[in-house]
Chain A
Amino acid sequence: MDTKSRSIKPALAFLALVCGINLLILSFAAGYTAVRSLGWRGIGDAFQSDYQNTADFRRTISQWFYSFADPAWQEEYQLSDKNLLYKVTQNGETVCTNADDLSPNALPEGYNFLLWFDGETITIQKDGQTIDVYGDGYYRGEGQWNLPGYHNIPVPQSYAGLTITMAAAREPVPYIMDTATLTGNTITDSGLYSTMDYAARLRLPLILFVVVPLVMGAALVVWSILWHKYKVRADQAIAWFTGKLWLEVKLVLLIPFFLVCIAAFFCLVSLYIARYYAIWLYLSVPGALWWAYLYFNDLRYNFGRITANSLCAFLARLYRGSELSWPAGRRMLRRSTLQFLAALPFILGCIVVFFLLFAPSLSRLPIFFLLILLALTGLLLIAAQLWLMAQNRRTAADMDVLLSRIQAAGTGSASASPLPEDSDLRSAVEGLDQMEARLRSALSEQMKSEKLKLELITNVSHDLKTPLTSMVSYTELLRQEKGLPDHVRDYILVLCQKTLRLQAMVQDVFDVSKAATGNLPVTIRPLDFAKLLRQTLADLDEEIQASGLTLRSDLPNAPVWIMADGDRLYRVFQNLIGNALKYALSGSRIYLTLSVDEGKATAVIQNTSRDELPYGVDFTERFVRGDQSRTDGGSGLGLSIARTFTEACGGVFSIRTQADLFTASVTFPLTQTRPQPEVAP
C-alpha cells in the first residue's frame, strides 16, 4: 500500500497542478472574453434574478420611451406584444397605445412596473414603490436610466403636453409572431421577454466556463500546493524521463517550442484586442506553458549532467566501447584510417565545388552556400583531427609510462601508477601489474621459505651444540682415563675424531646459515690477494704435505690489491684447498693460479677428481657433494661456504667441471685503495 501511495500520490499531485492551472487559464480566458463582450454590468445582469433590475432592462425601457415620444414612430409602428403596455397622450388625446385603459393610478394584473411621464418629469414605480430616477440630477452614462429630465438632459420642447404611461409585466412571456399580421407595420417580437431571456441564458455558460473552472482550478492548485512534497517527487520523476532524452533532441524540440510560444503570444494579443480564432489555436497557451515547464524542470534537476546524455556522448561512448574491445595496435590503426576516411568526402566536396565554379549556367549564390558548408565541414574535420591527435598523444604518453614501468619492474623498484580506464595501453599495464604481483608474491614466498629453512638450520645447529658439549667433554674424560685396554683406547680415539668432525660440521652449518641470512659480518679492507694465497698455503702446509699431493702455485710477486674481508677469504681458500686435498686423485697435482686481467683478479684452483664427477650438479648448493653416498666425511658445506663468503665479500665464485677436471675460481675487482700503514705505538 505504501509503495502504491508512493507512486500514486505524486501522480495525483502533479495531475492536480496541471488540471488546476489549465482550468484557471480557461477560467481567465473565458472571464476575460465575457468581460470584454458583456462588460461587468452585463455579467452582473446575468446573475440578476429580477430582470427589471438589470441594466439591459433600464436601457430597453429608455429606448422604448424615446420611441414612444417620437411622433414618427407613433404614426408608423405599434407594439403587438403585451409584455410592455404603453399609452401616449398628446394634450389629453391618446396618440398611440396597446392598452387603452392603461392608467398610472392602477396597473393591470401581472404588471408591477410603471413609468409615468407627465410632460416634465418621469416617475417610475416598481411594486408600488417609487424609484429614484434622477439621483443627484446628472446623467453619467451606463447603468442609469437614460431618460430626459436630468440637468444635463433636459426634456425637449417637443415633449410639451406629452404624457407617456408604460407598464412592464412581472414575468414577460414569449409572443409567437402571427404570419397573418405580418403585413402592416406591426412589431411583433417578444420584447421584454427576450431581455429577460438573454440575461438568463448567459448565466449557465458563465457559470460553466468561468466560475466552475475558477473554483475547481483554485482548489486543485491549493491541493497540489498542500501535496508539495509529492509534487516535487513527480517533478523528479519527470526530470528522470526528460533526462533520458538526448540533448540534441531537446535542442531540436526548442524550434517547435518557440513556434508554440509565438502562437500563444499571438493568441494572447488577439484576445486582448478582441479578435477571435479557432479554439484549437488557443491550446497553444497551456501547451507553451507546460512545454516550458518541461524545459525548466529538466534544467532544474539535470543541469549538472545536461551534456552527459546526448547523442554525441552516446556515439562517443559507443565508439569507445567498441574501441576498448580492440587491441591497442588495431585501435591506433583504426584511428588513422578514420582520419583518412573523414578527409576523403571533404576533398571530394572541394573538387565538386571547384568544377561548379566553372559551370556557366549556375548562379553564384548556391555555390557560395556550398562553400560555406564546405568550410564548416573543414572546421569539423580539423576538430576531429585534433581529437584523434590528442588521443594518439595520450597513447604515446601512456606508452612512456608503460615503458618506465617495465624498466622499474626489471629493477624491482616498481610503483603502481594505474592508467585511466579508457587508455589504449590499459590492458598492457594491467598485465604488467599482474606479472609484477605474481613475481613479487613468488619472490616473497621464496624468501620466506628460504628464511624458514635457515632459521631451522640455525636452531638445529644451536640445539646440537649442547649435547655436543657433553660428548666432547666425556670423550675427553674417557681419553684421560688410564689403564684401559688398547682396543678400548682405539674406540675412544674414533669417538674423539668423530665428535670433532661433528663439531666442525655444526660450525659450518652455522656459518652458512649466517651468511645466507645476511647475518655474516664482514670487514672489507684492501688486501694483497697474492699474499693472502701464500699465507693460506703456508697455513695449510702441513695438511698439504700430509696428503701426498703436490700443490703447484703460480702467484704473482707483485701485490694484487682487492677489497675483501681477509678472514672470510681465508676460509674460502681453506675450504677450496681442503676440498681439493680431499677429493683429488691421489698422487695428482693441484694447481693454484692467480691472474690479473682487465681490472680483475682471478684465483683458480684446479684438481683432478678421484671420483667421476656427476654431470649437471651445482656444487655450491648446500649439502651437495661429488658422490651422493655421503661416506667421505665432508659436511657438504665447504663449497657452499666458499661461495657465500666470496659473495659476502663482493666477489664472484664459480665452479666448472670438465671430465674429471674440477675448477673453482674466485674473482675480485682490483682496487686502487691501499691499506693504511699501521703506526707502531
Chain B
Amino acid sequence: MNESILVVDDDAEIVRAIAILLEKEGYRVLKAYNGLQALELAMDPSLRLILMDVMMPKLDGLSAVLKIREQRNLPILILSAKGEDTDKILGLSMGADDYIAKPFHPQELVARVRSHLRRYTQLGDVNSPTQKAELVTGRLCYLPDEKTLLVDGTPVRLTATELKIVDLLMRNLGRVFPAEEIYRRVWNEEPYSAENTVMVHVRRIREKIELNPKEPEYLKVVWGIGYKIEKH
C-alpha cells in the first residue's frame, strides 16, 4: 500500500521519532521542518495524511494548513505543545481534522494516524448506499441489526454486557444515563453497587474503542450525573 505521510515539525528529533514509529507501521514518511517545505511536499500525489506542528519558523502550521486545504483534501493532524482548548478549537476551525497535544503518547499518535487513514480511505465504503440502519458518531459506527460496533470500520469484539451497554448508549447518542438506569436496563435487576459495576464495564469498553482510554473521546462520564457516548 505504501501510503505516504508528511511529518512537519521544527524539532528534527521529533520528526525522526515519529518517522521511525510510522515506518514501523509500514508507512512512507516525508519530512519537513517548516511550513514552506511542508507546502512543497504536500503536493506529492502519494500523500495520504499530514502531521503538522503549529509553532514553526518561516510559515506557521495553521497558515500552512489553510494553504494546503485550498489544494488538497486529506486528513491533517495538528501537533501542538500549546494544548489549550482555544488553540484546539482554532486549529480545527482552520481545517485540521484532529488535534494532538504534545507530549503525545507514541501509541496514541500511531493509533490516531491509523484511524484517520482508515476512515479516509474506506470512507467511500462506509458511506455507500448499501448501508441499512446504522448509528455513526465519529470513528464509531454501530449496526443495531447485526449488534456490531465498528471502530474505524473494523468490528470490535465486545462481551454480551458490554454490547448491551453500547447498544443502549449508541441508540441514545448524547443522552446521559445514570448508572442505576443502565444497570436496570442491562442487567434487568434492581441496582446494587451500580456505580462500581457500570464503571468497570465502561472502562473495558473504553479500552476497546478509545485511542487513549484515559482521555476518552466517545464514552464519557458526566460527573455527578451518569454516562453517555458523545455525539461527534
Interface residues, chain A, with chain B CB atoms under 8 Å away: 462, 465-466, 468-474, 476-477, 480, 503, 506, 510, 514, 521, 527-529, 531-532, 534-539, 541, 562, 564, 566-567, 569-570, 675, 678-681
Extra 19 A-B pairs, beta carbons < 8 Å, given A473-B106, A538-B198, A562-B224 = A468-B102, A469-B81, A470-B11, A470-B14, A471-B103, A472-B104, A473-B18, A480-B24, A503-B103, A510-B83, A514-B84, A527-B223, A529-B224, A531-B178, A531-B179, A535-B179, A538-B196, A566-B225, A680-B171
Interface string of B168-209 (1 = CB under 8 A from A): 000111111011000000000000000110111001000000
Q: Is B196 in contact with A541, judged by CB distance below 8 angstroms?
A: yes
Taking CB atoms, residues of chain B closer than 8 Å to A471 are 103
Tell which of B21, B82, B221 touches A535, judged by Cβ atoms closer than 8 Å: B221
B222: Cβ under 8 A from any A Cβ: yes
Interface residues, chain B, with chain A CB atoms under 8 Å away: 11, 13-14, 17-18, 20-21, 24, 81-85, 102-107, 171-176, 178-179, 195-196, 198-200, 203, 221-226, 228, 231
Cα distance, A465 to B106, chains bound together (Å): 14
Q: Is B224 in contact with A531, judged by CB distance below 8 angstroms?
A: yes
Q: Is B224 in contact with A528, judged by CB distance below 8 angstroms?
A: yes
Taking CB atoms, residues of chain B closer than 8 Å to A570 are 221, 223
Q: Is A679 in contact with B106, judged by CB distance below 8 angstroms?
A: no
Q: Is A566 in contact with B17, judged by CB distance below 8 angstroms?
A: no
Q: Is B223 in contact with A535, judged by CB distance below 8 angstroms?
A: yes
Taking CB atoms, residues of chain B closer than 8 Å to A465 are 81, 83, 102-103
Chain A residue with the shortest CB-CB distance to B86: A521
Taking CB atoms, residues of chain B closer than 8 Å to A566 are 222-225
Taking CB atoms, residues of chain B closer than 8 Å to A514 are 84
Cα distance, A11 to B145, chains bound together (Å): 122
Taking CB atoms, residues of chain A closer than 8 Å to B178 are 531
Q: Is A680 in contact with B172, judged by CB distance below 8 angstroms?
A: yes
Query: How many Å from the CB of A536 to the closest CB on chain B?
Result: 8
Taking CB atoms, residues of chain B closer than 8 Å to A473 are 14, 17-18, 21, 106
Cα distance, A14 to B81, chains bound together (Å): 91
Tell which of B84, B173, B224 touches A532, judged by Cβ atoms closer than 8 Å: B224
Q: Is A466 in contact with B102, judged by CB distance below 8 angstroms?
A: yes
Given the known inter-chain contacts A466-B102, A470-B13, A538-B196, please indicate yes or no for A679 contacting B175, CB distance below 8 A. yes
Query: How many Å from the CB of A288 to the closest CB on chain B?
Result: 92
Query: How many Å from the CB of B136 to the closest CB on chain A?
Result: 12
Q: Is B200 in contact with A535, judged by CB distance below 8 angstroms?
A: no
Chain B residue with the shortest CB-CB distance to A679: B175
Chain A residue with the shortest CB-CB distance to B224: A527
Q: Is A539 in contact with B224, judged by CB distance below 8 angstroms?
A: no
Cα distance, A471 to B173, chains bound together (Å): 38
Q: Is A477 in contact with B17, judged by CB distance below 8 angstroms?
A: yes
Q: Is A521 in contact with B85, judged by CB distance below 8 angstroms?
A: yes
Q: Is A531 in contact with B11, judged by CB distance below 8 angstroms?
A: no
Q: Is A538 in contact with B199, judged by CB distance below 8 angstroms?
A: yes
Of B82, B221, B225, the most chain A CB neighbours within 10 A belong to: B225
Taking CB atoms, residues of chain A closer than 8 Å to B107 are 476
Given the known inter-chain contacts A462-B81, A527-B225, A531-B225, please indicate yes or no for A541 contacting B103, CB distance below 8 A. no
Chain A residue with the shortest CB-CB distance to B228: A678
Cα distance, A477 to B105, chains bound together (Å): 11
Cα distance, A527 to B225, chains bound together (Å): 6
Of B221, B223, B228, the most chain A CB neighbours within 10 A belong to: B223
Taking CB atoms, residues of chain B closer than 8 Å to A567 are 223
Query: How many Å from the CB of B177 to the closest CB on chain A?
Result: 9
Query: How many Å from the CB of B113 to the closest CB on chain A?
Result: 14
| 5 examples of A-B residue contacts, CB within 8 angstroms | A465-B103, A469-B14, A472-B103, A506-B103, A514-B84
Cα distance, A562 to B225, chains bound together (Å): 11
Chain A residue with the shortest CB-CB distance to B107: A476
Taking CB atoms, residues of chain B closer than 8 Å to A466 are 11, 14, 81, 102
Cα distance, A679 to B11, chains bound together (Å): 47
Tell which of B83, B105, B196 touches A476, judged by Cβ atoms closer than 8 Å: B105
Query: How many Å from the CB of A566 to the closest CB on chain B?
Result: 3
Cα distance, A566 to B102, chains bound together (Å): 25
Tell which of A480, A503, A535, A681 touches B195, judged by Cβ atoms closer than 8 Å: A535
Cα distance, A532 to B106, chains bound together (Å): 32
Chain B residue with the shortest CB-CB distance to A499: B103
Given the known inter-chain contacts A472-B106, A503-B103, please indicate yes or no for A477 contacting B20, CB distance below 8 A. yes
Taking CB atoms, residues of chain B closer than 8 Å to A468 are 102-103
Taking CB atoms, residues of chain B closer than 8 Å to A477 are 17, 20-21, 106
Q: Is A678 in contact with B176, judged by CB distance below 8 angstroms?
A: yes
Taking CB atoms, residues of chain A closer than 8 Å to B225 are 527-528, 531, 566, 675
Query: How many Å from the CB of A678 to the closest CB on chain B?
Result: 5
Taking CB atoms, residues of chain A closer than 8 Å to B223 are 527, 532, 535-536, 566-567, 569-570
Query: How many Å from the CB of B15 to the closest CB on chain A?
Result: 10
Taking CB atoms, residues of chain B closer than 8 Å to A528 are 224-225
Taking CB atoms, residues of chain B closer than 8 Å to A531 are 178-179, 195, 224-226
Cα distance, A483 to B196, chains bound together (Å): 41
Taking CB atoms, residues of chain B closer than 8 Å to A536 are 223
Q: Is B105 in contact with A678, judged by CB distance below 8 angstroms?
A: no
Taking CB atoms, residues of chain A closer than 8 Å to B222 are 527, 566
Chain A residue with the shortest CB-CB distance to B55: A466
Cα distance, A514 to B173, chains bound together (Å): 32
Cα distance, A675 to B221, chains bound together (Å): 15
